[in-house]
Chains A and B, each alone.
Chain A
Amino acid sequence: METQVKLTKLATCAGCGAKMGAGTLAKMLEGFKTHSDPRLIVGYDKSDDASVYVLSEDLALIQTTDFFPPIVDDPYLYGKIAATNALSDVYAMGGEPKLALNILCAAESMEDKTIREILRGGYDAAYEAGAIITGGHTIKGAEPFYGLAVSGFVHPDKVLTNSGARPGDVLLLTKPLGVGILTTAAKAGMAEGAVMDRIYRQMATLNKTARDIMVQYPVHSCTDVTGFGLLGHSYEMAQGSGCTLHLQADQVPYHPEALEFADMGLVPAGAYRNRDYAQPGVKVCREIPLALEDIFYDPQTSGGLLIAMPTEAAEACLAELQKQIPRAARIGYVTELQDAAIKLE
């Protein structure tokens, strides 16, 4: 890497860990005037991944945006990861991204070639997704950030929200956890280069393949596991669906190195925020090491899809997923609401 200024040194927060807490945000938006429109079938009140607006009988528009400070020093990879993460919300709604706009803040100390590399990463991710970047907005500032505002399309009947899980469903997860802890360990200079190469590659992998396979099955609910961690996003799904999500701790895929780093105290602040947010709804039903719990609360940048679908379909879907995404896994199941929104078993 020939980057003169280390990109990650320009950022005080890492990736989706920079996200403002869900509770704080809801409070801030309280009491504002908004039009109500029956065509807006998924709006901000649903705390879903993106908004969905019905345009016609067979077409709905999905809109979302996401950006964050550098989480890796290589500008190309950073751009690719940030764009992949932004595109992910459209996939999580079951849709396909079509148009995107760059959102970029460049630090004064960044060279033109660095900025170009960030954008090249973004364009490559969008190209792979089949989306077109049509423009955007770039400013200069103290702390850099990059991401996209994305528009995508979906059939109105095929919209996948995070509130549709039903008793009898099985839960699938398409990317292993631990990304936030590992990027923290990388900041501490403790994670090996080869391990981080694997993590960065995972973050730069679109959820397109997972989405394309998933939509061939009768999915009830879907969300992408990002800033709120597995338990934060599961909590939202459980609450939205009025069900209990049972997560089987020994089935959840994660990067093994994250366990030792969490044990060592390299846990990002976002994981603690997520714990504060979701813990009241989580019942731990077996002995689970604290470090493993940390991994379940760990904020993920460009994480995988959490999918709920009926048992019979899930088996075939998982087999299909695993052909292309070897670490996709069945991580639990859904029942009627019990004594807790989430049970860790």
Chain B
Amino acid sequence: MEQTLDCRGMACPLPVVNSKKASEELRAGDILTVLVDNEVAVQNLQRFASHKGYVSTGEKKSETEYTVVMTITGAGTAAPEEAIACHQDTRRKGMLVVLSANTMGSGDPKLGTALMKAFVFALTKQDQLPDTILCYNSGAYLTCEGSESLEDLQLLESEGVTILTCGTCLDFYGLREKVAVGGVTNMYEIVERMEAASQIIRP
């Protein structure tokens, strides 16, 4: 099958977005032709094609008319992580850390606070970092201003770890404006992330 997409007049990144959608409907051997009106779109489409493992050619017809022709291959998506030699992704896929309180273990709260601080610090020192950290109930305090773990969590976040705090909990403790690291989430996403995790760690 051959399909032609007219992406002329579309601002970046729409040509790539539309080509991605179209290519998902196509099968191996199909040909996707994309019309665009600028050189940047051609280069981005060629990056997209090689990302997917498709063979592509770009052609300039005039100053405002370019075509990119891609031959769709099977599920031959080139894994980008493997292609990168310089920077290693140190996150372990599927590893989820749940911080359900601002203290660790039950007993003296002062000790519990110190333990939690040490736990988050130790997390930053691991060779393999978690994919995601979920904070709920009084765990919400950990991601907010004044938290002793803030710098460690910010470091983890900067390494690519997704940090999410329960919105209901933030509202309950009056912390909504104080979040200083990560995003805010809801119970659906908490459940989904837990279901999807291959490993859940709870201090």
Do chains A and B stick together as partners? Answer: yes
Chain A positions near chain B (C-beta within 8 angstroms): 12, 176, 184-185, 187-190, 192-195, 197-198, 201, 249-250, 253-257, 259-260, 262-269, 272, 287-292, 294, 326-327
Chain B residue contacts of A188, Cβ below 8 A: 13-14, 16-17
Chain A residue contacts of B157, Cβ below 8 A: 198
Chain B residue contacts of A265, Cβ below 8 A: 13, 16, 43-49, 51
Chain B residue contacts of A185, Cβ below 8 A: 13
Q: Is the CB of A184 within 8 A of B13?
A: yes
Q: Is the CB of B47 within 8 A of A264?
A: yes
A299 → B minimal CB distance (Å): 12
Cα distance A327–B156 when bound, in Å?
10
Q: Which of B17, B46, B83 contacts A189 (CB 8 A)?
A: B17
Chain B residue contacts of A287, Cβ below 8 A: 85
Q: Is the CB of B47 within 8 A of A269?
A: no
Cα distance A294–B80 when bound, in Å?
14
Q: Does B87 contact A (CB under 8 A)?
A: yes
Q: Which of B43, B87, B163 contacts A256 (CB 8 A)?
A: B87
Q: Is the CB of B158 within 8 A of A326?
A: yes
Q: Which of A187, A254, A262 contacts B87 (CB 8 A)?
A: A254
B64 → A minimal CB distance (Å): 15
Q: Which of A190, A201, A289 contacts B84 (CB 8 A)?
A: A289
Given contacts A265-B48, A267-B40, 4 further A-B contacts (CB under 8 A): A256-B87, A263-B83, A266-B13, A326-B158
Contact A195:B40 (CB < 8 A) given known A263-B47, A263-B51, A264-B51: no
> Which 7 A-B pairs give the minimum distances between C-beta atoms?
A194-B183, A265-B48, A265-B44, A265-B47, A197-B183, A326-B155, A250-B86
Chain A residue contacts of B185, Cβ below 8 A: 194
Contact A272:B154 (CB < 8 A) given known A192-B162, A197-B183, A256-B160: no
Contact A266:B16 (CB < 8 A) given known A193-B183, A250-B86, A259-B87: yes
Cα distance A184–B43 when bound, in Å?
15
17 cross-chain CB contacts under 8 A: A184-B12, A188-B16, A189-B17, A194-B163, A198-B183, A256-B87, A262-B47, A263-B83, A265-B46, A267-B47, A269-B40, A272-B40, A272-B43, A289-B85, A289-B86, A290-B47, A327-B155
Q: Is the CB of A197 within 8 A of B182?
A: yes
Most buried by B among A198, A291, A327: A198
Chain B residue contacts of A197, Cβ below 8 A: 182-184
The residue in chain B whose Cβ has the minimal distance to the Cβ of A268 is B12
Q: Does B151 contact A (CB under 8 A)?
A: yes
Cα distance A12–B158 when bound, in Å?
29
Cα distance A263–B84 when bound, in Å?
11
Cα distance A260–B46 when bound, in Å?
14
